Amino acid sequence: MKTLIKISWRNIWRNSGRSIVIILAVAFGLWGGVFITGFMTGMLTQMFDSGIKSQVSHIQIHNHDFIKEKLTEFYIEDYESIIGVIEKNDKVHAYSARTLSNGMIATASMTAGIEIYAVNPPQENKTTDLRKNIIEGDYFESVSRNPVLIGEKLSQKMNINAGNRIILTFQDLNGNITSASFRVCGIYRTSNTMNDERKVFIKQNDFANLIDNPGVVNEIAILLTNIDDVDEFKTMLSDEFPDTEIRTWLQLAPELSFMNEMSGMAMMVILIIILLALAFGILNTMLMAIFERTRELGVLMSVGMNKFKVFSMILLETIFLVVSGSVIGTVMGYITISITSKTGIDLTAIGGDTFSDYGIDAMVYPRLEDMFFLDLAILVIITAIVASIYPSYKALKLNPADAVRKE
């Protein structure tokens, strides 16, 4: 067997030009496939993380009636007991108790409909990335009375800058219209511009003072340490607080689950395309090699090389070619993903603003799990073996007497 391995290795370098072309084709094909897979995985993962951190969290708790009409008057009556349970549970990473209201934002020349999120700034900072997404001004620090955070899209639409005064109008618990002056302390930008145009954030204490009721919480958003604990945690809360509406991220945003499934499906499709191209390339190359070496193979069988050794020789030659190319391609892909996962790829020049309309950040950070590279290596070797079976079979079907006479 050792001799057969040496012969097979030398055979692939008898035509070094062709072998190098095959190795490079395999290498660049795998490198491109690995990079595209990492890019798509990174983009879909960012969309998922952004959806969880910026919009729905892992679990949300509401009053049953709030789900139907989204009015501030439908608040969670026993929210303090719920928060007490949440704070004692070690599965909880963070939570934010919010007061919500639909309203209007107005400047001297323009008005627009908005959703008002009255939050506790320290709680919200731990639960979402709101503070990190501020691009102008600060996170409720510079304005002492009635500060407000607005999205970049809304600020552009209404020509508002940090430091400007605006008027927020909304209903109190009795349905009375309440208006108040707020000063913009900061402008934020997330990967979802539709949310940026709709949501404004104020302090919960300021909102409570305006409606003259400090005990109003319409939504409790919970971020768990491990997403796999979501169903178990929801069941626990539902059993303990049956009079509340408790929903998981999957119920709140089923499209996020689709993204996860789409990520796995995209990886599978790309892998299949790569492996099919690889298989047909190997098949074509090895068949050509056999037709060119018909006389040589006939001589080998005439002098006593059995069919199993001929089959093994062709198989080993194929594996050597593919493994050489796949090692180079996989290493290139791993290095590329490692670098771009830190530096990112800026899509601004090719329409970053358009991507943000769909919740995609203009800066994409490709990523792949280490296990992907191991799986890829195994699949490539299996593909090489399968693709070499037919050429090896053709070699076995040669008649030694006819083959040695072939010019």
Query: Across residues 22-30, what is the average pLDDT?
Result: 85
Query: Across residues 72-90, what is the average pLDDT?
Result: 91
**Measured in Å, how far apart are the chain's first and last C-alpha atoms?**
30
pLDDT at 398 over 90: no
pLDDT at 7 over 80: no
Nearest CA-CA partner of 379 in 12, 15, 33: 33
Higher pLDDT, 304 or 199: 199
Q: Is 310 helix (H, G, I), strand (E, B) or coil?
A: helix
Query: At how many degrees (to 10) do helices 2-12 and 307-343 cross?
Result: 60
Domain ranges, ordered by start, for the chain: 2-52+256-404, 56-253
Query: Across residues 84-101, what is the average pLDDT?
Result: 93
Least confident of 33-37, 215-219, 371-375: 371-375
pLDDT at 65 over 70: yes
pLDDT at 56 over 70: yes
Q: Identify the pLDDT of residue 399.
A: 57
Q: Identify the pLDDT of residue 302.
A: 67
pLDDT at 79 over 70: yes
Higher pLDDT, 232 or 23: 232
Per-residue pLDDT of 120-136, as tens digits, reads 999 999 999 889 889 99
Query: Across residues 304-311, what is the average pLDDT?
Result: 71
Nearest CA-CA partner of 59 in 267, 180, 233: 233
Query: Across residues 227-246, what is the average pLDDT?
Result: 92
User: Given its phi and psi angles, is residue 179 left (phi above 0), alpha (psi -120 to 50 degrees) or beta?
Assistant: beta
Q: Identify the pLDDT of residue 167.
A: 95
Rounded CA-CA distance 55/129 in Å is 10
Amino acid at 396: L
* Strand 199-203 versus strand 111-119 pairing type: parallel
Q: Identify the pLDDT of residue 8.
A: 74
Least confident of 91-100, 244-253, 393-402: 393-402
Q: Is 201 helix (H, G, I), strand (E, B) or coil?
A: strand
Q: Identify the pLDDT of residue 190.
A: 83
Which H or E run contains 169? strand 165-171
Q: Identify the pLDDT of residue 261.
A: 72
Query: Across residues 299-326, what is the average pLDDT?
Result: 76
Token pair belonging to 69: 């009409």
Least confident of 77-86, 249-258, 293-302: 293-302
Per-residue pLDDT of 152-173, as tens digits, reads 999 999 999 999 999 999 988 8
Query: Across residues 178-201, what is the average pLDDT?
Result: 90
Q: Identify the pLDDT of residue 9.
A: 77
Q: Answer for the pair 203, 140: CB distance below 8 angstroms, yes or no.
A: yes
Per-residue pLDDT of 139-150, as tens digits, reads 999 888 899 999
Residues 6+ apart with CB under 8 A from 250: 230, 256, 257
Per the prediction, the chain carries an average pLDDT of 83
Nearest CA-CA partner of 335 in 43, 35, 45: 35
Q: Identify the pLDDT of residue 352.
A: 52
Q: Identify the pLDDT of residue 397.
A: 66
Residue with tokens 């005990």: 215
Query: Across residues 335-356, what is the average pLDDT?
Result: 76
Provide the greatest CA pair distance for the chain: 103
Amino acid at 23: I
Find the length of the chain. 407
Confidence of residue 59 (pLDDT cuts 50, 70, 90): very high
Query: Across residues 269-281, what is the average pLDDT?
Result: 80
What percentage of the chain has pLDDT greater than the value 70? Answer: 87
Per-residue pLDDT of 356-393, as tens digits, reads 555 566 778 888 888 888 888 888 888 888 887 777 77
Rounded CA-CA distance 273/268 in Å is 9
- Rounded alpha-carbon distances, angstroms, from residue 111 to 63, 118, 180, 197: 30, 20, 14, 13
Q: Answer for the pair 19, 286: CB distance below 8 angstroms, yes or no.
A: no
Q: Identify the pLDDT of residue 169.
A: 94
| Cα torsion through 146, 147, 153, 157, rounded to 10 | 50
| Cα torsion through 350, 354, 359, 362, rounded to 10 | 30
